[in-house]
Chains A and B, each alone.
Chain A
Amino acid sequence: MMKIINYLDHIDKRWIYLVLAIAVIFPFLFPIGCPMKITPPVSNMYNYINDSIPEGGVMLVSVDYDPSTMAELHPMGKALITHCFSKNIRVFLMGLYPPGVGLAQDMISNTLEEWNKSNPDNIKILGNDISLFAFVPGVSVVILKMGEDIRGTFNTDAYGNDLDSLPIMAGVNTYNDIDYMVDLAGSSVILSWIIYANGRYNQKMGIGTTAVSMAEYYAYLNSGQANGMLGGLKGAAEYEALLIKNNVSQDRNQASIGMDAQSSGHLTYIIFIIVGNIIYFIKRKKEK
Chain B
Amino acid sequence: MKRHLLLFLCMISISVFSQELIDSTNVALIDTAITEMQHSGIVLNVCDTPNDDGTSITIKWDINDSLKGYLMDIHRIHGECDTAIALDMNPEKGIHTDNMVHGGTNYMYYALFKKDDIVKKTDNSLPVKAIGQWFNKERFDSFIVLLLIAGAFAWFIYLAKKGKSFYIRKIAGLDAVEEAVGRSTEMGKPIMYLLGIGYVTDIPTIAGLTILGRVAKKAAEYDTRIMVPSYDPVVMTTAQEVVKEAFTEAGRPDAYRKEDTMYITQDQFGYAAGVDGMMMREKPGAIFLQGLFFAESLILAETGYSIGAIQIAGTTETAQLPFFVAACDYTLIGEEMMAASVYLEREPLMLGSIVAEDLIKIIIVFVLIIGFILGLLGHGFKIGFFTDMFEWLVRII
Please determine if A and B sit in direct contact within the complex, based on CB atoms under 8 angstroms apart.
yes
The listed residue (B9, B14, B90) touching A141 by CB distance below 8 A is B9
Tell me the minimal C-beta distance from B325 to chain A in angstroms.
14
Q: Does A152 lie within 8 Å of B16, measured CB to CB?
A: yes
Q: Which A124-161 residues have a C-beta within 8 angstroms of B?
A: 138, 140-141, 144-145, 148-149, 152-153
B5 contacts which chain A residues (CB < 8 A)? 140-141
Chain A residue with minimal CB distance to B92? A176
The listed residue (A138, A173, A174, A201) touching B9 by CB distance below 8 A is A138
Q: Pick the 10 closest A-B CB pairs, nearest first.
A: A141-B9, A176-B90, A145-B13, A144-B6, A152-B17, A141-B5, A140-B2, A148-B13, A145-B9, A152-B13
Tell me the minimal C-beta distance from B305 to chain A in angstroms.
12
Chain B residue with minimal CB distance to A212? B319
Q: Does A149 lie within 8 Å of B2, measured CB to CB?
A: no
**What residues of chain A have their CB less than 8 Å away from a CB belonging to chain B?**
138, 140-141, 144-145, 148-149, 152-153, 173-174, 176, 201, 212
The docked-state distance in angstroms from the alpha carbon of A113 to that of B261 is: 55
A-B contact pairs, 18 of them (CB 8 A): A138-B9, A140-B2, A140-B5, A140-B6, A141-B9, A144-B6, A145-B9, A145-B10, A148-B10, A148-B13, A148-B17, A149-B13, A149-B17, A152-B13, A152-B16, A176-B90, A176-B92, A212-B319
B92 contacts which chain A residues (CB < 8 A)? 176
A174 contacts which chain B residues (CB < 8 A)? 90
Chain B interface mostly: helix
Q: How many A-B residue pairs have CB under 8 A?
A: 29
Tell me the minimal C-beta distance from A272 to chain B in angstroms.
12
Given contacts A141-B6, A212-B319, 12 further A-B contacts (CB under 8 A): A138-B9, A141-B5, A141-B9, A144-B9, A145-B9, A145-B10, A148-B14, A148-B17, A149-B17, A152-B16, A174-B90, A176-B92
Tell me the minimal C-beta distance from A185 to chain B in angstroms.
16
The docked-state distance in angstroms from the alpha carbon of A25 to that of B9 is: 49
**What residues of chain B have their CB less than 8 Å away from a CB belonging to chain A?**
2, 5-6, 9-10, 13-14, 16-17, 88, 90, 92-93, 319
The docked-state distance in angstroms from the alpha carbon of A253 to that of B80 is: 65
The docked-state distance in angstroms from the alpha carbon of A145 to that of B10 is: 7
Tell me the minimal C-beta distance from B301 to chain A in angstroms.
15
B6 contacts which chain A residues (CB < 8 A)? 140-141, 144
B9 contacts which chain A residues (CB < 8 A)? 138, 141, 144-145
The docked-state distance in angstroms from the alpha carbon of A149 to that of B89 is: 10
The listed residue (B10, B16, B17, B88) touching A144 by CB distance below 8 A is B10
Tell me the minimal C-beta distance from B193 to chain A in angstroms.
26
Chain B residue with minimal CB distance to A201? B93
The docked-state distance in angstroms from the alpha carbon of A145 to that of B13 is: 8
Chain B residue with minimal CB distance to A177? B90
Chain A residue with minimal CB distance to B2? A140
Chain B residue with minimal CB distance to A213? B319
Q: Does B88 lie within 8 Å of A173, measured CB to CB?
A: yes
Tell me the minimal C-beta distance from A195 to chain B in angstroms.
8
Chain A residue with minimal CB distance to B14? A148
A144 contacts which chain B residues (CB < 8 A)? 6, 9-10
Tell me the minimal C-beta distance from A237 to chain B in angstroms.
23
Chain B residue with minimal CB distance to A147? B93
Tell me the minimal C-beta distance from B23 to chain A in angstroms.
15
A145 contacts which chain B residues (CB < 8 A)? 9-10, 13
B14 contacts which chain A residues (CB < 8 A)? 148
Chain B residue with minimal CB distance to A174? B90
B93 contacts which chain A residues (CB < 8 A)? 201
A212 contacts which chain B residues (CB < 8 A)? 319
B88 contacts which chain A residues (CB < 8 A)? 173
Tell me the minimal C-beta distance from A239 to chain B in angstroms.
26
Chain A residue with minimal CB distance to B8? A141
